[in-house]
Amino acid sequence: MSKYGIGQPVLRFEDPRLLRGQGRYINDVNLPGQAYAVFVRSPHAHAKIRAIDVEEARKAPGVAAVLTGHDVVADGLGMPKANMPRKRPDGKPMYAPQRPPLVTDRVRYVGDPVVMVVADTLAEAKDAAELVNIDYEAIPSVTSTEDTVKPGAPAVWDDCPDNISNNVERGNKAATDEAIKGAAKVIKRRYVITRVHAQYMEPRGTLGVYDQGEDRLILYADVQYPHRVRNMLAQNVFKVPESKMRVIAQDVGGGFGTKGWQYVEHRLTLWAARKLLRPVKWTCERSEAVMADEHGRDNIGEIELALDKDNKFVALRLNMLANIGAYVGSDRNLLSPFGMIGTVLGVYSIPKAYINVVGVLSNTNPTAPYRGAGRPEAIYLIERLIDDAARELGVDRVELRRKNMLPESALPYQSPVGPFYDCGEFEKNMDMAMKMADVAGFAARQAESKKRGRLRGLGIVNAIEQAAGTAQPEYAEIRFNPSGTAALLMGTKNQGQGHETMFKQILHERLGIDPKDVQYIDGDTDRVAFGMGTNGSRSTVLGGSALFMAAGKVIDKGKKLAGQLLEAGEQDIEFTEGNFTVKGTDKSVSLKQVAMAAFNPTKWPKGGFEGGLYENATYLGQKDTFPNGCHICEVEVDPETGDVTPDRYFVVDDVGTVMNPIGLKGQIHGGVAQGIGQILCEQVVWDRQSGQLLTASFLDYAMPHAQMIPNMEVKSNPVPTKYNPLGAKGAGEAGTVGAMPVVMNAIMDALAPLGVKDVAMPATAQNVWRAIQDAKAG
């Protein structure tokens, strides 16, 4: 196989410029004459606005504008809304309050933007913002997910007194209830999955520009879906043709889903730029990010597993509360966990199942997809429940899994709650991981830890996720230059995953092009014709497949021209390793030569040959893909302090065809680190009584440190899917999906001898110590 082809461990082409500081992130983009925006945000979780006084701020030095929600309304800016067909449990239409860009009457979470101040310098904008006087009347708030539906809870919106926005049901409720009723054993648990924030390398930012000569708006922003952002801004907010809107996303300092969509700051900087006829820039402060951004996770699952007398699973029932925050600004706020909770059955045969997810409103930031977007939550629920069931029943947890695991012979398998598992080797994954992790030697390591006064625990989980959804297509274009070099234009958006490297590998595999001869382009709606962006582990599966198809078109057209150059019929031309050859001969011509000839009319075949060599393709997947694998983790717990140290970590992963082993390991390492972070330390916290945000900065929001992340060993067990031409399943979120449950299961295994039944997430030293003390007292 060629050096740069699919499956080769190629070092990333992106890295040299980024490591040399030559990246172009949003804060690197500056334009002559730009002004700077600062937002005055609500300090209250819930309050009525009696009055907004901006007169002193408008008089401050350097101030170009002080804008309120009344100005937004006066200028007729639109608001996006949720369109998914959802209902409430009582059958009434979904309650989905739209999100105003600037609030005029009532703030509903700490950080709700009220006033926008624009000035010549950032310092002047900050000084003027201090002069804005807003008269608030604080009213009761609700920030805890479980409190939202309690009798007497404050209503986030007066016309939705029970705080229930909508619910989603899957499966057969009656059949599941009957199966659970008649089961020999039923294990029931309640698991709380906390709220987290992405905390990317670079906080969000935006630079809005109005080109008066072209009557055109241009947005520079670190978004994951440039074309979708353009379409929404043009159609729903500014009500202009898409040709009047351009979105440019260059290097993105981490996205993880949280930077995916359009935020109010995007439309407001564009709006201000048009009003002031000068560029307007906003850069989110690190201490502002948790207040300004959407959050991830935050749900409570009450889950039941029914077994027969032989410990075979017969039914599963899940009732979940999902906190969606104060607003439903678009369908994005309904995607997680509602869309992905179907994998809560894991890789197990559970014939009857019913899921009910209730979305509740609260005085908190809206929630949206964050790495895994519901899949880590689903696997957390089922894998924790299986461990708890094994302990309660006094059986081996591995054998309980093995007894109920879907065998390869059962695939393809239609889950009773929706997902269609087409292929995989789930038991082989587990066996490979157990051998790699030396599970047989765990007892000896546990004894050694005990000698040092430590408790050692082992976690084993089988993970599966629904990825690369088929609801949205993806685009790729190959555009050759007259010199024979090429531009590769992709509709997905790189945020650090190594897209440039991976897509060049696919292109090299198909066409034999030297990656040095390929210019990679993404993130600009004027340069790339179409794209749905990056989310849900879709870039390789859908973007790569689109590229595969576009390359096929290049080959087909190239054969016509090669036949002319080689004086042979098109049907006699074959293409391999970058060369067109007459079958059965040594007569050949390279793709580069063919590409150059495509721009020379004297070389064209007669009969209406269209010159040039530029091909594109739009690919829509046949079915969703299901990456899967087995994670094994060992932790040590200090019973005196509650401190948890992950010690060993092993992954066997099936992401289908592996594009680049180095890139795959990097994706899994990063995903595992985020999963470990959520379990051990990360959490967005509000004071339950006052609604005050308590974790607005790194002083209070704990981030995982290097010593928390153990060495990881990763192996692949690829089982390519037949539902896309590459056989790829997706890899971007696989690490997080397995990491959350396996680390918590390892902690619970370590604490089980002390009688600990549960530990609050995150498993900080304080929470673990409390659980130990409660077990002793109990």
In sequence order, what DSSP letters do the residues of 225-285 get, joined into one string?
-HHHHHHHIIIIIS---GGGEEEE----S--TTTTSS--HHHHHHHHHHHHHTS-EEEE--
pLDDT at 2 over 80: no
Provide the b/e sequence for 180-213 (b: ≥16 CB within 10 Å): beebeebbebebebbbbbbbbebbbbbbbbbeee
8 A C-beta contact, residue 411 and residue 421: yes
Q: What is the pLDDT of residues 622-631, one digit of tens each?
A: 999 999 999 9
Q: What is the pLDDT of residues 364-391, one digit of tens each?
A: 999 999 999 889 999 999 999 999 999 9
pLDDT at 432 over 60: yes
Confidence of residue 310 (pLDDT cuts 50, 70, 90): very high
Amino acid at 181: K
Confidence of residue 340 (pLDDT cuts 50, 70, 90): confident
Phi/psi of residue 616, nearest 5 degrees: -135, 165
CA distances from 208 to 29, 550, 602, 766 (A): 11, 34, 47, 45
- Say how far apart CA 295 and CA 292 lie, in whole Å: 9
Neighbours of 250 (CB within 10 A): 18
pLDDT at 357 over 80: yes
pLDDT average, residue stretch 706-717: 95
pLDDT at 1 over 70: no
Q: What is the pLDDT of residues 586-603, one digit of tens each?
A: 999 999 999 999 999 999
What pTM was estimated for this model as a whole? 0.96
First vs last Cα of the chain: how many Å apart?
63
Q: What is the DSSP string of 12-71?
A: PSSHHHHHTT----GGG---TT-EEEEEEE-SSSSEEEEEEE-HHHHHSTTEEEEEEHHH
Q: What is the pLDDT of residues 517-569, one digit of tens each?
A: 999 999 999 999 999 999 889 999 999 999 999 999 999 999 999 999 999 99
pLDDT at 79 over 90: yes
- Say how far apart CA 221 and CA 280 lie, in whole Å: 12
| pLDDT for residue 3 | 83
Torsion of CA 660, 666, 668, 670, to 10 degrees: -150
8 A C-beta contact, residue 455 and residue 732: no
- Say how far apart CA 66 and CA 289 lie, in whole Å: 22
Q: What is the DSSP string of 534-574?
A: S-TT-IIIIIIHHHHHHHHHHHHHHHHHHHHHHTS-GGGEE
Average pLDDT over the chain reads 96
SS3 696: coil
Amino acid at 654: D
Q: What is the pLDDT of residues 124-138, one digit of tens each?
A: 999 999 999 999 999
Q: What is the pLDDT of residues 317-333, one digit of tens each?
A: 999 999 999 999 999 99
Contacts of 474 (CB under 8 A, 6+ apart): 491, 492, 531, 532, 538, 539, 542, 543, 545, 546, 618, 619, 620
Which tokens is 358 given?
């209730």
pLDDT average, residue stretch 17-42: 96
Provide the b/e sequence for 547-556 (b: ≥16 CB within 10 Å): bbbbbbebbe
Confidence of residue 337 (pLDDT cuts 50, 70, 90): confident
| pLDDT for residue 488 | 98
- Say how far apart CA 556 and CA 569 lie, in whole Å: 13
pLDDT average, residue stretch 232-241: 97
Q: What phi-psi label fits residue 724: left (phi over 0), alpha (psi between -120 and 50 degrees) or beta? A: beta
Query: Greatest CA separation found in the chain?
Result: 91
**Which residues are bridge partners to 702 per DSSP?**
none
8 A C-beta contact, residue 506 and residue 548: yes
- Say how far apart CA 367 and CA 370 lie, in whole Å: 9
Q: What is the pLDDT of residues 636-681, one digit of tens each?
A: 999 999 999 999 999 999 999 999 999 999 999 999 999 999 999 9
- Say how far apart CA 328 and CA 100 lie, in whole Å: 11
